[in-house]
Amino acid sequence: MKFSKALLSSLAVTALIPFFNPGLVSAQAKPGGRTLLYTSVPQELATRFGDAFMKTRPEIKVEIYRAGSTEIGTKLAAEREVGGIRADLLWLADAPVYYELKAKGELLAYISPEAKHIPADLKDPNGYFTAGRLINMIIAVNQEVVPLKDAPKAWKDFPDLGKKAVMGNPLYSGSNFVTVAVFVKQDGWGWFERARAKGVAIVRGNSEAASALAGKEFGIAMTLDYIVSGLIKKGAPLAIVWPAEGAISVPSPIAIIKGTKNPDASKAFVDYVLSKEGQQFLVTQEVIPVRGDVNPPKGQPSASQIKFLPIPYEWAAENAAAIRERFEKIMLQ
Amino acid sequence: MTASKLDRRYLLMAATGLFVLLVVVYPLWQVFFRSFLDAGAFSLKSYHKVFSNPTYYRAILNSVWVSLATAASCMVVGTLLAFLAVRTDLPYKKALRSLIVLPYALPSFFAAIAWIQLLGPQGYLARFFMQLSGREAAPWNIYSAAGIVFVLTVHYFVLVFITVAGALERMDASLEEAARASGAGTFRIMREITLPLVLPAILAGGLLAFIGSLANFGIPALLGMRARFFVLTTSVYYALAIPDFALATALSSMLVAVALVFMCLQLGIQRGEGRYTVISGKSVRPSELKLRSTRVPLFLGATVFVVFISIIPILSMALTALLTYWGAPLKQASFTLDHFAYILKLEAARRAVLNSLFLAALAATITTVAGVLISYMHVKAKLKGSRALDFLATIPYAVPHTVIAIAMILAWARPPASLYGTLWIILVAYLAVYLPFAVRTTHSTLQQVHDSLEEAARVSGAKLLARLRDILLPLARPGMIAGWILVFMPALRELTVSILLYAHRTETIGVTVYNLQDAGYREVAAALASIVMGLLIVGNFVIRRLTGGAAGF
């Protein structure tokens, strides 16, 4: 019977695959020199950074799980139900999460010797987390849709472009949530009511906003600088406007999970992230550094040149549910 | 019937039951009971939230009507095409079939992107229309409920197509012959003989399309948000982002409830199963309908359709992979092979392809075998409790994939049975996700095999295994192959379950595509998806050659 032959041979081929694939046979290395990092940092950046670290500390093995902020949040919540978080290290773009984790007592306090080079507003005073890189919420313009001279120079003018403007959904994206919190804390909900009335579009997140902007579906977008820089590098007719009131600089903190089986390896990784060498490596990957003594990537303004809006983290963490609910009522219903 | 034969069938059922228990019931229960928890105590708070917040109950209604509309259009399109591809003398039927099935392997994310590229406000067709008419915008809007129904239909009609095509192939021609001999016209035969005979397959396919769109997240997420149109799955995702586990599971329970209602309706319509047994052992192939004067117009129509739904989305993805960035003007300077070079050098991508091939092949094989056994016990052996088993095995189809992934962590991440961090937990999750496909497709297949065949074998003393091997499996083979493909293709590109369950070195194709995409490497992600598509086309060609057309799509 031809069919059973096909079935048998396909089974045989399938059975052989594991032998070419070490991931199947030994998914977990010895805990000794291993540290597991959950991160929402872009895959390539995370992998390269991990490799660079392992070159300096060959006895330590960094294993990386990379996913979006929401997926990592879900994974953490599920792991909590079955005996605790499995990761040793957490490096997300979603700063408010760290305040929650700290409140739940799930983080290990560690003040890295490198932390003294990092500004006070980018680290937790008790060492529960420290910013490892910066990402900035800015206004991006597609110059083929809206000439740069007509583009808004300030956040307050952003809603005026109405249907030509797009932003990510704070219900899904951490950096958008932080941005909404900054706006609301300063001026209440007026900005959003105006945006809704004029028809500003909401998409899922910053990547989608930037993609739709490059695809000329919109003229301006509220999105993250490094995504836009990447598109400009590839030749897209986009430009970045640093808003007059100030950009929103979202720190992407790194923290050690309390239950880590390998605190030494985890601490060594944090030290490397914050070190001059580590930050310089990040700069080669177009990331804005957190140290004053490391120059930003070419063409990017340094932290001291840009105006930043203050971020009310603790207020945002406390009022998270109310902020989400109100945003949903105004913008999404 | 002697006692030992009875025992053996129940033994088989016990084994299958254990499988369903471990893969489906136990994990889903782990999630379900948490929807009744609030700070560790029993509470109906989450369900109260679902019914008191207009966002949520509106999402339920939206989900139902969008899925109903999708299922209806899938049934019409899928049945018509299946009929054309199987029962007529349309030229190039085989190629037509392969092309219809192929886009099913396209990650639904890329399918949605392709349609945005084509029909979106700045899409190629929209711009063409604007130039032609001089208007400011195209008269359609893909970011709308109608747009969601359209893309879902294009994505899921293949489920109806495959099940109906299989049924039409296995149909007993003698009934049609008899009607023809009695002087009935072609149209009347179709309406009164053929259509009723394949109705179970149409309904089974329609149900798959209905529940599929009910549980789909990618398409409504990408097309619905700008229209502020939300469905149950997007609400579940939102609940998880909070994160509010209990609310997410309560919303998921609503999804399951809606799916169950429609499953019961479908089973209700199919009562009186004897009517539908159409294969009674004679190997007479149904005759081909001569299209005559309509042959050319129908061929042209089918070609335009296939170009539209298969070739353009695939080309659109390939185009994305070849452009320096998405949205770049179509001129020579914008084309590059860099993205392909990049992906071929990426070790993680090669590993992902191997992992996904392994998982998809194994998941397809195991679920097909389990599906045949479950359907056999329900449809043929009619054992007590088999209906419940059939039911339980179908439930995961209506559960959002994220929730299934959570269920697997809750069930299989604790010692002594900790599979977490290995490929095996992804496999178990795939088995749960795809078992319903296998059960539903083999179910309608076995329904068409007349009981008398197995009876005859049993009376002649054939043992259970011999009967399965010599009678049922050969007759159900086309349906099983169809079922295998229906599992293999989506499993190859599965994302939502894998992204929560993968670990170091166990990444899948879906995970890699997602992570590239999410970091803004949409072009590289498209390159990887294009390579997978190419592998499928070549693989299908080789398999068809090797088996003389007995396997493949």
pLDDT, tens digit (0-9, with 9 covering 90-100), for A96-140: 888 888 988 999 999 999 999 988 888 899 999 999 998 889 999
Residue A24 has pLDDT above 50, yes or no: no
The answer to whether the CB atoms of A210 and B422 lie below 8 A apart is: no
Residue A90 has pLDDT above 90, yes or no: yes
The answer to whether the CB atoms of A234 and B422 lie below 8 A apart is: no
Write down the ipTM of this complex.
0.79
Confidence of residue A29 (pLDDT cuts 50, 70, 90): very low
B232-241 helix and B195-215 helix, angle to the nearest 10 degrees:
20
The answer to whether the CB atoms of B519 and A43 lie below 8 A apart is: yes
* Interacting residues of B379 by C-beta distance below 8 A, sequence separation 6+: B273, B443, B446, B447
pLDDT, tens digit (0-9, with 9 covering 90-100), for A138-187: 999 999 999 999 999 999 999 999 999 999 998 878 889 999 999 999 98
With a CB-CB cutoff of 8 Å, which residues 267-326 of chain A face chain B?
321, 324
Shortest Cα distance, chain B CAs vs residue A208, angstroms: 9
Tell whether A100 lies on the interface with B, counting CB pairs under 8 A.
no
Question: What is this structure's pTM?
Answer: 0.83
Distance (Å) of CA A275 to CA A270, A302, B429, B544: 9, 18, 41, 58
Determine the pLDDT at residue B274.
Answer: 46
> Regarding predicted confidence, which is higher, A318 or B476?
A318
Q: What CA–CA distance (Å, rounded) separates A316 from A143? A: 34
CB–CB of A113/A104 below 8 Å?
Answer: no
CB–CB of B51/B59 below 8 Å?
Answer: no
Shortest Cα distance, chain B CAs vs residue A237, angstroms: 9
Q: Which residues of A touch B343 (CB under 8 A)?
A: none
Determine the pLDDT at residue A27.
Answer: 40
Q: Which residues of A touch B505 (CB under 8 A)?
A: 21-23, 27
Tell whether B409 lies on the interface with A, counting CB pairs under 8 A.
yes
Q: Which of A78, A207, A215 sits opposite B122 (nearest CB)?
A: A215
Determine the pLDDT at residue A12.
Answer: 61
Tell whether A121 lies on the interface with B, counting CB pairs under 8 A.
no
Tell whether B56 lies on the interface with A, counting CB pairs under 8 A.
no
Determine the 3-state secondary structure of A34 from DSSP.
Answer: strand
Query: Of A158, A167, A172, nearest to A202 (Cα)?
Result: A167
**Dihedral pair phi/psi, residue A319, rounded to 5°:** -105, 20
Pairing verdict, β A130-142 and A248-257:
antiparallel
Domains defined for chain A, CATH in brackets: 29-134+250-284 (3.40.190.10), 135-248+311-332 (3.40.190.10)
The answer to whether the CB atoms of B361 and A44 lie below 8 A apart is: no
Determine the pLDDT at residue B390.
Answer: 87
Q: What CA–CA distance (Å, rounded) separates A69 from A92? A: 7
Confidence of residue A6 (pLDDT cuts 50, 70, 90): low
Q: How many CA atoms lie within 13 A of A141 on its CB side?
A: 20
Tell whether A236 lies on the interface with B, counting CB pairs under 8 A.
yes
CB pairs under 8 A between A and B: 186
Q: What CA–CA distance (Å, rounded) separates A317 from A307? A: 24
DSSP type of residue B243: T
Beta bridge partners of A61: A34
Tell whether A259 lies on the interface with B, counting CB pairs under 8 A.
no
Tell whether B508 lies on the interface with A, counting CB pairs under 8 A.
no
The answer to whether the CB atoms of A216 and B222 lie below 8 A apart is: no
CB–CB of B83/B166 below 8 Å?
Answer: no
Q: What CA–CA distance (Å, rounded) separates A253 from A259? A: 18
Determine the pLDDT at residue B428.
Answer: 96
CB–CB of B503/A63 below 8 Å?
Answer: yes
- For residue A47, the chain B residue with the least C-alpha distance is B348
Q: What CA–CA distance (Å, rounded) separates B409 from A82? A: 8
Domains defined for chain B, CATH in brackets: 3-277+295-547 (1.10.3720.10)
Shortest Cα distance, chain A CAs vs residue B55, angstroms: 7
A232-238 long-range contacts, CB within 8 A, separation 24+: A234/B324, A234/B325, A234/B328, A235/B324, A235/B325, A235/B328, A235/B334, A236/A142, A236/B325, A236/B327, A236/B328, A237/A142, A237/A143, A237/A144, A238/A140, A238/A141, A238/A142, A238/A143, A238/A210, A238/A213, A238/A214
Tell whether B521 lies on the interface with A, counting CB pairs under 8 A.
yes
Confidence of residue A303 (pLDDT cuts 50, 70, 90): low
With a CB-CB cutoff of 8 Å, which residues 130-169 of chain A face chain B?
169
The answer to whether the CB atoms of B226 and A201 lie below 8 A apart is: yes
Q: Which residues of A touch B242 (CB under 8 A)?
A: 321, 324
Determine the pLDDT at residue A66.
Answer: 92
Distance (Å) of CA B6 to CA A34, A36, B19, B446, B471: 54, 52, 20, 20, 19
The answer to whether the CB atoms of B348 and A68 lie below 8 A apart is: no
* Interacting residues of B528 by C-beta distance below 8 A, sequence separation 6+: B343, B349, B509, B512, B513, B516
Q: Which residues of B touch A11 (CB under 8 A)?
A: 361, 365
The answer to whether the CB atoms of B222 and A70 lie below 8 A apart is: no
Determine the pLDDT at residue B248.
Answer: 85
Q: Which of B226, B238, B503 sits opposite A203 (nearest CB)?
A: B226
**Dihedral pair phi/psi, residue B276, rounded to 5°:** -105, 0
The full DSSP string for B320-384 is: HHHBSSTT--SSGGGB-SHHHHHHHH-HHHHHHHHHHHHHHHHHHHHHHHHHHHHHIIIIIS--T
Determine the 3-state secondary structure of A141 from DSSP.
Answer: strand
The mean pLDDT values, 10 residues at a time, for chain B of 553 residues are 62 90 93 82 85 87 95 95 87 84 75 81 83 83 92 90 83 78 82 83 89 87 86 86 81 86 78 52 62 84 87 84 77 83 85 93 94 85 83 86 89 85 94 90 76 81 80 77 82 87 89 80 83 82 68 62
